[in-house]
Structure 1
Amino acid sequence: MTAAAGQAVMVGLGSARNLPVVRIAAQEAAAHGRSLHLVHAFDWAAAFAADTVAAPRDEAEDLIARANDLARDVEPELTVTGEIVEGPRVPVLLRRSERAFLLAVGDGGMATCADCVPADAPAVQLAARASCPVLVVRREPPPQGPVLVGVDGSPSSNRALEWALECAGRRNARLLALRVTEQDEDDDEVKRQLTEVVGRYAGRHPEVPTECHTIRGDPGGVLVEQSRSAQVAMVAARGDEPGRGMLGAVAQSLLYHAPSPVIVVRGMTDTAAQGA
């Protein structure tokens, strides 16, 4: 997994409801030795619909200032920058993601009311189209459980595994690698394959305790259930699903239903696993 050294963790700020995202993003930036960059997309159409044009701009500047103060309270040594960019939120964040290490956004209420959130919700669009990994933060804080990653043997899931191992190491957490099997698969052989691939990538992170489990069932449903005790769940944007679009069924299930924060891993360059 490679990313440019100067790339920042970026936060998409829509409103004050996104301030909890800043707290988690600041911790993530500090853990990875990255700076934090706050971005608010300013909508002129909404500004002209307000009582005064100046009020929405003032509110945007106040939001950036509050987020900056919060990030520094969480991580006093963190370098924090911010900007207000004119344009619709999703296109603005997609452009900025081209030079970001990680994009953090709120979930728009998906975890508590998935049926209320449209398929074109900003978090879904960004997870499907961003040029970097996307962290979708929930409104409720997660438990201090393991870092969960879904592995299906595809190259993209191996990149998610690599990212998960690095994150687990920086969080001082254990890694739970999960492979969901189908009825016609040999569980023992699948467990052997999972253990082997985790062992190859874990060679760079000997400090991370790892667990490998195989469970028979629906991949999305199994991962959502396992995420209830995880501090974060990680999945490739699209794993072993060549017929899917930009966001696979498993990633969609986690985005809409997992109670934990979810990192959709995309836009990363794979690196050779140790011993591969």
Structure 2
Amino acid sequence: MNAANGAAVVVGVDGSEPALRAVRLAAGEAARWGRTLRVVHGFIWPLLRVPLGPVPDAPPGAGLREQAERLVAQAVEHAESTVPGLRVTGEIIDGEASAVLVGESPTAALIVLGDRGLGGFAALVVGSVAVQVAAYADCPVLVARGAEGTDGPVVVGVDGSAPARAAVEFAADEAATRGVALRAVHAYRHPGSAGPGDMQPLVYDEGRLRGEEERVLAGSLAGLGERWPTVRVERVLTRARAAAALAEASRAAQLLVVGGRGHGEFTGLVLGSVSHAVLHRADCPVAVVRAPA
């Protein structure tokens, strides 16, 4: 995350406990990068033509707009108490939460949000807002999941794709700023087909396959030593499903970084199957980084 421009870290809030976890996470990110933290609440009620003032005989301040103002003020106060001296602003923006946060993304350094909010269905592990924002935002998206901690490395999933390279660079920035190792995980299963309609080979050389995958991993990390000389890079090559390998790696990590889509994803997917699965299974905060257009 380049600290050169004045873009803010933006955090979405809705009064839920996951949103407060996101505020704490966002406050830490803003402090590390010397950025302003911008607290945003998507206020959907005007779109639904719901009266915004208090109902008759209700106490003062009971209207929907007043409630929204209070939750934003509380989130700002929470951020300021988490990181004293942090520059924090708050704003209520009319609109649905996903649309509001995606709308903020072109000028934001980072979008941070909780894994679920007040409107989430109980059966969902990750709410629809988190998935939609991760899929469509024009900047990296950080989802508050799992334990809040500062132990362990920054873990990044790599597969040789452009989104994975963008994820590696974001993860290296984070590792350098946090003063921890960068652990690059590349998972593979079997040889892929060369094109549509090709059959998988029935017999292949395991040693040769592993050598090819080692080259993919090495290529994904090329040039890191020159740009981030202080970051110790750990390479992990494992034969497993990518989502499972990354979920396992997240148990010992303080941050997991994945690309929005990688090799082998269906072209119709906006958010790749691996990143989607990791959002649901990780035991630490997850950053989803889409490759620049």
Which TM-score tier does this pair reach, normalised by the shorter chain? 0.7 to 0.9
Specify whether residues 267 and 161 from structure 1 end up closer, same or farther in structure 2 by C-alpha distance, changes over 3 A only: closer
Aligned AA (2:105): S
Q: Secondary structure at the match of 1:34?
A: coil
1:152 alignment partner in structure 2: 159
Distance 1:267 1:157 in 2: 8
1:40 alignment partner in structure 2: 41
Specify whether residues 259 and 115 from structure 1 end up closer, same or farther in structure 2 by C-alpha distance, changes over 3 A only: farther
Q: 2:280 aligns with which of 231, 253, 256?
A: 256
Q: Which moved more, 1:143-152 or 1:40-49?
A: 40-49
Distance 1:161 1:225 in 2: 18
Q: Which moved more, 1:202-211 or 1:229-238?
A: 202-211
In percent, how many aligned pairs have the same letter? 39
1:94 alignment partner in structure 2: 102
Q: Secondary structure at the match of 1:260?
A: coil
Distance 2:102 2:130 in 1: 11
Distance 1:175 1:108 in 2: 28
Q: Which moved more, 1:250-259 or 1:186-195?
A: 186-195
Question: Highest CA radius of gyration, 1 or 2?
Answer: 2
Distance 2:180 2:148 in 1: 16
1:178 alignment partner in structure 2: 185
Distance 2:223 2:76 in 1: 40
Q: 2:257 aligns with which of 206, 213, 234?
A: 234
2:12 alignment partner in structure 1: 12
- 1:50-82 CA distance string (max 9 Å, x none): 963853222211112121122122222321111
Matched, 1:221 2:252: no
Specify whether residues 90 and 114 from structure 1 end up closer, same or farther in structure 2 by C-alpha distance, changes over 3 A only: closer
Distance 2:72 2:132 in 1: 23
> For the Cα contact (< 8 Å) 2:155–2:182, is it kept in 1?
yes
Structural RMSD (CA):
2.6
Matched, 1:266 2:290: yes
Distance 2:156 2:74 in 1: 33
Gaps of 5+ in 2: 56-60, 192-207
> For the Cα contact (< 8 Å) 1:68–1:81, is it kept in 2?
yes
Distance 1:171 1:124 in 2: 26
Distance 1:120 1:104 in 2: 14
Distance 1:247 1:204 in 2: 28
Q: Displacement, 1:150? A: 0.4
> For the Cα contact (< 8 Å) 1:21–1:104, is it kept in 2?
yes
Report 1:96-245 matches (<5 A): 96-108=104-116, 116-117=123-124, 121-138=128-145, 140-142=147-149, 144-184=151-191, 186-240=209-263, 241=265, 243-245=267-269
Distance 2:168 2:128 in 1: 27
Distance 1:96 1:71 in 2: 19
Distance 2:239 2:40 in 1: 42
2:200 alignment partner in structure 1: none
Q: When you count helix as a share of all residues, which structure comes out higher?
A: 1
Q: Secondary structure at the match of 1:245?
A: coil
Q: Displacement, 1:141? A: 2.0
Specify whether residues 248 and 4 from structure 1 end up closer, same or farther in structure 2 by C-alpha distance, changes over 3 A only: farther
Matched, 1:66 2:67: no
Q: Secondary structure at the match of 2:35?
A: coil
The alignment's TM-score, normalised by the length of structure 1, stands at 0.87
Aligned residues: 266
Distance 1:205 1:214 in 2: 22
Q: Displacement, 1:120? A: 7.1
Distance 2:68 2:112 in 1: 18
Specify whether residues 198 and 115 from structure 1 end up closer, same or farther in structure 2 by C-alpha distance, changes over 3 A only: farther
Q: Displacement, 1:187? A: 1.4
> For the Cα contact (< 8 Å) 1:131–1:267, is it kept in 2?
no
